[in-house]
């Protein structure tokens, strides 16, 4: 059962989303007899000028026709977008609507902590940087947080690379000059990538995803991006996207020059393999590579699993849920231990909030 302080937070959050306090209690009343179960989420697709169609071919997504899809928002609770449940008695309700039933604790100001995406970069994204929590609180009129994020490479064409951080000695003035004479790439670290690589991108780190890459992104629940450079790209009407050069220069960490991949920690359990990818103040992400049954525990808040490859059955006290490559599943607080039974060898990205 939710504590009263959690009720208050959720009511504040509902007001922010213009749905109202009474609806929250109505939802809880209507679903109070539904025991927690694994919730498969419907993806929300985002058209992007740099996007492609590989989320369909690589992850089985049913994309809208004839548009470049750059992002699939797998889990989101935001004013503009809310994930919808695809399976079971709660199908058709938003994840936000059912979270209160299961006692999910948001941040102190009422935000859900994480946003999960798949990203397809058919072309190179803009050179960009994200602010930290403190900068957002001081300079942005928003309910968003800062943005620390993780990338796990699902697919990389030969020669693919990312931009990660600045070269040593690059200054604010050097970036200004490079923007003027269109030589910004000379200030940036280019890092070759292959399938299975993982990178943590702290707030303040200049970065971009290069063409030919498909990845999973786990991030703080923020949509604040400051673009430094967008390769002089224009849309069909000849319009370029907005740049945010002054804010970007304000938040760049000029000492962020580390280009190393994550040093992973791997544990073998029989035929299964668990690799800790990222353990940061906001979330923990693990890669599970399984060919036999494994039991998992849901922490006090929630777990998220995204099926990167394979097909499996999630067994819990009240039944089972089948999940396939490309599915993202939310396991709410209050869920009992669950069992993952792969039909074929499977790869799962598992994330827990902090």
pLDDT tens-digit profile, the chain (354 residues): 233 233 333 333 433 344 444 444 454 556 667 888 999 999 999 999 999 999 999 999 999 999 999 999 999 999 889 999 999 999 999 998 888 776 665 444 667 899 999 999 999 999 999 999 999 999 998 889 999 999 999 999 999 999 999 999 999 999 999 999 999 999 999 999 999 999 999 999 999 999 999 999 999 999 999 999 999 999 888 999 999 999 999 999 999 877 777 888 899 999 999 999 999 999 999 999 999 999 999 888 889 999 999 999 999 987 899 999 999 999 987 778 899 999 999 999 999 988
Same domain, 132 and 238: yes
Q: What is the CATH number of the domain that holds 348?
A: 2.60.120.10
Same domain, 255 and 131: yes
Total domains in the chain come to: 2
Same domain, 214 and 289: no
Gap between the Cα atoms of 168 and 155, Å rounded:
29
Domain end position, chosen among 230, 262, 294: 262
**Which among 285, 305, 352, 302 has a CA at the least distance from the CA of 105?**
302
DSSP state of 352: E
Same domain, 170 and 287: no
Same domain, 251 and 130: yes
176 belongs to a structural domain:
yes
Domain end position, chosen among 206, 232, 262: 262
Q: Is 255 exposed, middle or buried (0-12, 13-18, 19+ CB in 10 A)?
A: exposed
65 belongs to a structural domain:
no
What pTM was computed for the model? 0.90
Query: What residue numbers bound the domain in which 246 lies?
Result: 124-262
Same domain, 182 and 270: no
Give me the active site residues, please. 227
197 belongs to a structural domain:
yes
Same domain, 177 and 284: no
Q: Which residues of 151-186 are buried (b: 16+ CB within 10 A; e: fewer)?
A: bbbbbbeeebbbbbbbeeebeeebbeebbeeeebee
């Amino acid at each position: 059962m939710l504590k009263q302080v959690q009720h208050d937070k959720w009511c504040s959050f509902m007001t922010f989303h213009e749905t109202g306090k009474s609806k929250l209690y109505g939802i809880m009343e209507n679903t109070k007899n539904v025991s927690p179960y694994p919730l498969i989420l419907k993806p929300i697709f985002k058209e992007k000028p740099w996007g492609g169609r590989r989320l369909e071919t690589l992850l089985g997504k049913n994309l809208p026709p004839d548009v470049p899809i750059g992002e699939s928002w797998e889990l989101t609770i935001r004013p503009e977008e809310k994930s919808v449940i695809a399976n079971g008695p709660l199908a058709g309700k938003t994840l936000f609507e059912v979270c209160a039933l299961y006692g999910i604790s948001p941040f102190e100001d009422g935000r859900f902590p994480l946003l999960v995406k798949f990203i397809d970069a058919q072309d190179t994204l803009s050179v960009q940087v994200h602010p930290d929590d403190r900068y957002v609180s001081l300079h942005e009129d928003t309910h968003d947080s800062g943005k620390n994020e993780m990338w796990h490479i699902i697919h990389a064409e030969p020669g693919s690379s990312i931009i990660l951080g600045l070269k040593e000695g690059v200054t604010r003035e050097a970036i200004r000059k490079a923007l003027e004479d269109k030589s910004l790439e000379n200030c940036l670290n280019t890092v070759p990538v292959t399938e299975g690589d993982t990178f943590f991108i702290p707030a303040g780190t200049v970065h971009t995803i290069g063409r030919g890459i498909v990845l999973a992104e786990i991030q703080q629940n923020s949509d604040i991006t400051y673009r430094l450079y967008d390769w002089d790209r224009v849309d069909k009407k000849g319009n370029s996207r907005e740049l945010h050069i002054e804010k970007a220069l304000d938040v760049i960490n000029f000492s962020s020059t580390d280009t190393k991949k994550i040093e992973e920690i791997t544990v073998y359990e029989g035929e299964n393999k668990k690799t800790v990818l990222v353990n940061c103040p906001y979330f923990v992400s693990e890669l599970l590579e399984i060919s036999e049954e494994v039991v998992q525990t849901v922490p006090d808040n929630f777990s998220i699993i995204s099926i990167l490859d394979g097909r499996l059955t999630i067994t819990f006290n009240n039944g089972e849920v089948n999940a396939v490559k490309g599915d993202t599943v939310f396991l709410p607080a209050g869920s009992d231990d669950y069992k993952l039974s792969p039909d074929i060898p499977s790869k799962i990205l598992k994330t827990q909030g902090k």
